Amino acid sequence: MCRYELKKVFLKTGGKIALLLLLFLVGVTCYFATNIFYVDGKGDKKYGPVAVRELRAMQKEWAGFLEEEKIRQVITENRRIRHSKEALSDETRENEIAYSWGQGISEIRNLLNYSYASHFREYDYYRADSLSETDAGDFYANRVSLLKAWLDEEAKDTFSDKEKAYLMDQYHRIQTPFYYNYMKGWTQLFAFSPTIIMISMLILGYLVAGIFSNEFVWKSDSVFFSSVYGRNKAVTSKIKAGFCITTMVYWGSVILYSGFILLYLGADGMNCPVQADISGWKCFYNITIWQKYLLVIAGGYMGCLFISFLSMLVSAKTKSTVLAVMVPFVLIFIPSFLANMNSVFVNKILSLLPDQLLQMEAALNYFSLFTIAGRVIGAVPILLVVYAALTVAIGPVIYWGYSRKQIS
């Protein structure tokens, strides 16, 4: 039965077009994600596999634990480059040549900009240029002290004392020195992961929206419900079909996307802590890049499953495919409008909406905390548990409602 439910979806012209569109959009996203450049010693920009190879080789020279000595070396190297005649020249090409020398340390240099900032939320691209070798020892201590200062001043009313203590504890607990490696594959993968997951979700929304309502649209409901399994097993097979479509389409696009990016840009750096990359420097979840990847794809899957099931519920309840198709749009785009409201309460609510699962990369960086039964917990584990439970709960609601449908 489930096989025929899948056929109903994928034999439709719209279903075929949706899959082709998804494939096309995955391709486009892969193109943009892998479109990185490298500047050679003559100041010329290079793209494609050559750029990846050269950049990887340069950054790998700096791979290893970011100990005080290594930070010192980066500060020295950065100063050497910044004070070179090429960097100080008015000629763009000369500047490009100076830039080419710094590509090996560029990612560590970004970390310096954060670590030695004057405020927790500041990012000054030129901050690293003003450092001296004697500053190297403060690299990790700064990370903690900036957080403390922020919690004591700017964010003093945002968090409870318990939450502040939790954040400080998480910052203290992280193992230092960080291990650094070339990780362009992962950073690019994470940067475009919300795009790929949201595209998959919108396509999925279209595919699953008609599973229940199309019986009424096609007027096949009478034969369906008057059959022996029309009010039990056949309904279950529709839910199974929705689950299978979500699983196949989501994992298909995510594996295709991840596989291409990591094969092209390399999977080096998977064991580095997320804090060893500029996008995760402030993250209070002490996890590795690989663990972050697992969270991003698991969160995306959970989010897609939940939204697909919600679409199916709307489809089953209202008999309207149009309303069901709108569910992902509403859940993805409405929170972005509400995000402009500068309210701690609203922000807490927003951090628990299902769209967060689709952009786990960003959710991991939000300082969104909740105190449950006296224990402080981040939004990410709550999101995963709550939406897994809700998805499981929606299944029986769909079954119960649809199997009792009356034909008007």
Partner 1 sequence: MELKLSNLTKEFKDVAAVDHISYTMTTGVYGLLGVNGAGKTTLMRMLCTLIKPSSGCITWNGKDIFELDGEYRRLLGYLPQDFGYYPDFTVYDYLMYVASIKGLRPATAKQRTARLLKQVGMDKEKKKKMKKLSGGMKRRVGIAQAMLNNPSILILDEPTAGLDPNERIRFRNLIGELAQERLVLLSTHIVSDVAYIAKEILLMKEGKICVAGSLKELLAPMQGQVWSLDVSKEDAETYRKNYKVANVRIIPKGVNLRILSGQRPSENARPESVLLEDVFLHYLGEGMVEEDVSI
Q: Could you list the residues that contact partner 1 (CB under 8 A)?
A: 1, 4, 7-8, 11-13, 215, 218-234, 406-408
Q: Which is nearer to partner 1, 210 or 328 (CB)?
A: 210
For residues 215 and 355, which CB has a smaller minimum distance to partner 1 in the complex?
A: 215
- Residues 6 or more apart whose CB falls under 8 angstroms from that of 45 comprise 37, 38, 39, 96
- Reading the block at residue 208, the tokens are 């699953």
Question: What is the Cα–Cα distance from 366 to 387, expressed in whole angstroms?
Answer: 18
Residue 15 or 328 having the CB closest to partner 1: 15
CB nearer to partner 1: pick between 235 and 331: 235
Smallest distance from partner 1 to CB 16, Å = 10
| Smallest separation (angstroms) from partner 1 to the CB of 245 | 16
Q: What is the DSSP letter of 399?
A: H
Nearer to partner 1, 144 or 407 (CB): 407
| Dihedral pair phi/psi, residue 375, rounded to 5° | -110, 130
| Ranges of H-type helices in 85-183 | 85-88, 92-101, 106-115, 139-152, 161-173
Least Å distance between CB 218 and partner 1?
Answer: 5
Nearest distance from C-beta of residue 340 to partner 1, angstroms: 44
DSSP 8-state secondary structure symbol assigned to residue 143: H
Identity of the residue, 4 or 329, whose beta carbon is nearer to partner 1 in the bound complex? 4
- Give the HSE-up count for residue 24: Cα atoms under 13 Å, Cβ half-sphere: 7
Q: CB of 377 within 8 A of CB of 369? A: yes
**Alpha carbons 36 and 18: distance in angstroms, whole number:** 29
Which residues are CB-neighbours of 128 under 8 A, at least 6 positions away? 75, 78, 109, 112, 113, 116
Single-letter residue type at 311: S
Q: How far is the CB of 400 from partner 1 (least distance, A)?
A: 15
Check if the beta carbon of residue 364 is closer than 8 Å to that of residue 245. no
Q: What is the closest distance, in whole angstroms, from the C-beta atom of residue 272 to partner 1 in the complex?
A: 49
Q: Cβ of residue 5: shortest distance to partner 1, in angstroms?
A: 9
Q: Report the number of secondary-structure helices (H) and strands (E) in the chain.
A: 18, 6
Q: Please state the closest distance from residue 122 (CB atom) to partner 1, in A.
A: 58
Closest CA to 277 of 301, 293, 262: 293
Which C-beta is closer to partner 1: that of 178 or that of 225? Answer: 225
Whichever of 237 and 253 has its CB closer to partner 1, that residue is: 237
